[in-house]
Amino acid sequence: MEINKLDVVEGKAFEFIDHNLDSSNSTDELISDLESQLYKFSREKDKLKFLTVVSQYIQEEAAEHAKECKNPNNCGKSKTHREATFFVNQMLEEYGVGINNSEVFTSEERIENNQKLDEILEEIQKLKLGQEIIYDDLTKEIEELKNLYFIGKKNWYQNLAGKSLEMVASGVVSETVSKKLISIAGVTFNKLIEG
C-alpha cells in the first residue's frame, strides 16, 4: 500500500493497523479501538479518510490470506477479516459512504492514477509560460485529486470529469489536456452521466 508520508490521517491509520489490527482479541475490541481512534478526529472528512485506509488494508490483507487459506469457513483469521470489513463498512455508511469492494481504490490504481496526473502536471509546466496564476490553480486542483481517493471510484472520477469540464469551459486548459485527464478515468463523459 502506498503511503503519503505527509498525510497525518493516513499515518494515524497505519499506526492503528500496526498496533491494533492483529493484536485485538476480538472484533468487538477492534471496533471499540477504531471508534476511540475516530473520536480523535474532529472533521468528518478525516474520519472518512481514516476508515477508508483501514478498510482498504483489511480488504487487501483478506485477499492475500484467501489465496492460501484452506478452510475459509472455519478459519479464525478469515472470520476476523469478514467481521472487520462488515463493521468498518457499516461505519463508512454512517458517514454517507456506501463503499463496496469495487469502489475502493487499490494501491496499484492509486499509484497508476498519480503517475498519470504527474505526467499531466509535467505537460502543464511546459505550457506555463507567462500564465503562472492560472497554471498554479490548475496544479493545485490536480494535486487535490491525489488526496481524494477515499471518496470512492465513482465520486473520484466524477470529480475529475467535473474539474476537467470546468477547466476547459473557463479556457484554463485545452481540450487535449482535458481529454488526458478524462482518460485517467477510463470512461467517457456519457458513462459518467449515465452512471
**Interval 153-170: pLDDT, tens:** 777 877 877 777 777 676
pLDDT digits (tens, 9 = 90+) for 140-152: 777 888 777 777 7
**Do 112 and 189 fall within a single domain?**
yes
CA–CA gap between residue 148 and residue 146 (Å, rounded):
6
**Do 96 and 164 fall within a single domain?**
no
Contact 65, 78 (CB under 8 A): yes
Whether 162 is covered by a domain: the verdict is yes
Q: Which residue has the higher pLDDT, 182 or 64?
A: 64
Whether 121 is covered by a domain: the verdict is yes
**Do 98 and 19 fall within a single domain?**
yes
**Do 43 and 127 fall within a single domain?**
no
Q: How confident is the model at residue 191 (pLDDT cuts 50, 70, 90)?
A: very low
**Do 96 and 179 fall within a single domain?**
no
**22-36 as b/e: b if 16+ CB within 10 A:** eebeebeebbebbee
* Domain enclosing residue 91, as ranges: 8-103
Contact 28, 40 (CB under 8 A): no
CA–CA gap between residue 76 and residue 89 (Å, rounded):
20
| pLDDT at res. 183 | 67
Of 74, 103, 132, which one is at a domain's C-terminal end? Answer: 103
**Do 126 and 95 fall within a single domain?**
no
Mean pLDDT of 91-105: 68
**Do 111 and 95 fall within a single domain?**
no
Please report, for residues 4, 57, 60, 87, 107, the alpha-carbon distance to residue 104 in angstroms, rounded to integers and kept in the order given. 17, 10, 11, 16, 10
Q: Which residue has the higher pLDDT, 44 or 137?
A: 44
Of 82, 103, 124, which one is at a domain's C-terminal end? Answer: 103
| pLDDT at res. 128 | 61
Question: Total domain count for the chain?
Answer: 2
CA–CA gap between residue 125 and residue 139 (Å, rounded):
9
**Do 122 and 187 fall within a single domain?**
yes
| pLDDT at res. 148 | 78
Amino acid identity of 127?
A: L
Whether pLDDT at 46 is above 70: yes
Q: Which residue has the higher pLDDT, 168 or 7?
A: 7
Whether 83 is covered by a domain: the verdict is yes
Whether pLDDT at 6 is above 60: no
| pLDDT at res. 135 | 65
| Nearest CA among 36, 29, 156 for reference residue 99 | 156
Mean pLDDT of 5-23: 79
What number of other Cβ atoms are within 10 A of residue 97's Cβ? 18
Whether pLDDT at 195 is above 60: no
**Do 84 and 114 fall within a single domain?**
no
pLDDT digits (tens, 9 = 90+) for 47-66: 888 888 888 888 888 888 88
Please report, for residues 32, 38, 93, 155, the alpha-carbon distance to residue 51 in angstroms, rounded to integers and kept in the order given. 13, 8, 11, 17
| pLDDT at res. 188 | 39
